[in-house]
Amino acid sequence: MNLRLRLTLLVALMLPLNLFGKCPITADGRLVLRAPAGNLIVDTTGSDSVDIDVSNRQVVVHETCRRETVEISAKAPASIGIPDWKIRVPKGVTLDLSTQGGSIQIMETDGEALLRTSGGKVTAGNIKGNTLIVGTEIRTGNIGGNAEIRGYGGRIQLGDVGGNAEFKTQGGDITAGLVKGHVKAELGSGSIMIRESNGDVVVTTEAGDIKSEYVHGSFDGRTDSGNIRIERAGSWVKAVTNVGDIFFRLSPTNYSGDLHITAEATLGNITMYVPKAMKATIDAVIEKPPLNGKSRILSDFSLKPPVNALKGLLPGPDRQGATVNGGGNNIKVRTSSGTISIFSLE
């Protein structure tokens, strides 16, 4: 063996990045990567191929290269820890990546993204297509299509979402920008803040606040312990909290639609603004009013107790109601202990 070959071999053995794969792929192809463990770092500045470097030479990579789909799997001894996988692809490639352990980091992409890790952060730039992410802490830019996010526990932050957004987490706060479709979120615990949703919103959390600046569609939110605050709601509202306050403004664009309201807070205050012109039948109840007998139901509408109410003989709930503009949409407001404020919006 000549000296040049010996030197080349020596250098190759000493290099930290020992594996190198390169598969040609179309601009809108698909990369399917199944890593045993590893931090996946995806660079989307590639031109016509999938290039892969793995930081540990003990990882044995198996590639199936086709122009439309490149499939990569690997085997590695557990003792090596979590190697880094550096992957370069064209921007339009669909990324279908999963790692059994490690973080996933991708740059901006025009394709779809399916990113799964059994433990580790997921960080992504803007994603144009539909997106599925499973991880602990998750942070992305804007998502052009639908977003399905599943968290094991950790904060989730998304930019705007072009389609529907669905969240399911064991715990951790969620924030998202404008969601053009519907929002469905189920949190084990944690707060959720959706800046704006063009569709309907259905949210449940065991503990934490639910907030939004504008829900164009209907809102159905429930928290066992936390506040609910919707600055503007365009359709019917159902807000339920065990301990916490409820606040919302109903400002529909279509008065002929369903605009019923149910707001319940076991321990907490309820404040709502409803349009003056809306047809409504209001029923507000404070189950345990204060001892001084002063009503804690405040309203611009002239609320009155029902005709058959007991008049001070026995302590009982403070119940008041009204029929507005001939009645119609039921507004049912109930708190065990707290205040109820129902104001009119011009």
For another protein, the binding residues (CB under 8 A) are 37, 78-82, 100-102, 117-120, 136-137, 151-155, 170-173, 188-191, 206-209, 223-227, 243-244, 288-292, 294, 310, 313-314, 337
Q: How far is the CB of 172 from another protein (least distance, A)?
A: 6
What six digits make up the tokens of 154? 């950790």
Q: How far is the CB of 157 from another protein (least distance, A)?
A: 14
Beta pairing class for 19-24 and 49-54: antiparallel
Q: How far is the CB of 274 from another protein (least distance, A)?
A: 25
Nearer to another protein, 92 or 171 (CB): 171
Residues 166-180 as b or e (16 or more Cβ within 10 Å = b): bbebebbbbbbbbbb
Q: How many CA atoms lie within 13 Å of 119's alpha carbon, on the beta-carbon side? A: 4
Contact indicator for 89, 46 with CB cutoff of 8 Å: yes
Contact indicator for 160, 178 with CB cutoff of 8 Å: yes
Sign of CA dihedral 77, 78, 79, 83: positive
Nearer to another protein, 171 or 305 (CB): 171
Q: How far is the CB of 245 from another protein (least distance, A)?
A: 11
Nearer to another protein, 101 or 141 (CB): 101
State which amino acid sits at residue 336.
S
Residue given tokens 């449940």 in the structure block: 204
Q: What's the burial of 210, exposed, middle or buried (CB within 10 Å: 0-12/13-18/19+)?
A: buried
Q: How far is the CB of 325 from another protein (least distance, A)?
A: 30
d(CA 209, CA 68): 45
Nearer to another protein, 29 or 244 (CB): 244
Nearer to another protein, 106 or 187 (CB): 187
Nearer to another protein, 24 or 81 (CB): 81
Nearer to another protein, 25 or 82 (CB): 82
Q: How far is the CB of 16 from another protein (least distance, A)?
A: 11
Contact indicator for 129, 94 with CB cutoff of 8 Å: yes
Q: How far is the CB of 173 from another protein (least distance, A)?
A: 7
